[in-house]
């Protein structure tokens, strides 16, 4: 997931907003699929994951994925 320059949305061509609730088991695969499908387009993009009070560790994994990207 592209987290570069979050404060500057100028130039972003694609924004994806995804609601998340107890989806820890699916987040890594989601990240891989988004990256695999969007990188070949050579467009700038952001992925916004909106957590709604998950209790399964989704938030922690989201933070980890953010750091990796």
Within a domain: 36:
yes
Q: Over 60: is that where the pLDDT of 63 sits?
A: yes
Per-residue model confidence as pLDDT tens digits over 1-23? 555 555 555 789 999 999 999 99
What DSSP line would sit under 7-67, residue for residue? T--TT--EEEEEEESS-HHHHHHHHHHHHHHHGGGT--EEEEEEE-S-SSSHHHHHHHHHH
Please give the pLDDT value at position 59: 97
Per-residue model confidence as pLDDT tens digits over 19-39? 999 999 999 999 999 999 999
* Residue 45, domain extent: 23-68
Within a domain: 50:
yes
Within a domain: 62:
yes
* Number of domains observed in the structure of the chain: 1
Other beta carbons within 10 angstroms of residue 22's beta carbon come to: 14
Distance (Å, rounded) from C-alpha 58 to C-alpha 6?
A: 20
């Amino acid at each position: 997931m592209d987290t570069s320059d979050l404060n500057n949305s100028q130039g972003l061509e694609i924004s994806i907003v995804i609601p998340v609730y107890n989806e820890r088991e699916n987040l890594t695969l989601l990240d891989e699929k988004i990256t695999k499908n969007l990188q070949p387009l050579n467009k700038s993009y952001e992925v916004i994951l909106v957590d709604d009070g998950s209790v399964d560790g989704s938030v922690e994994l989201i933070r980890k994925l953010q750091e990796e990207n």
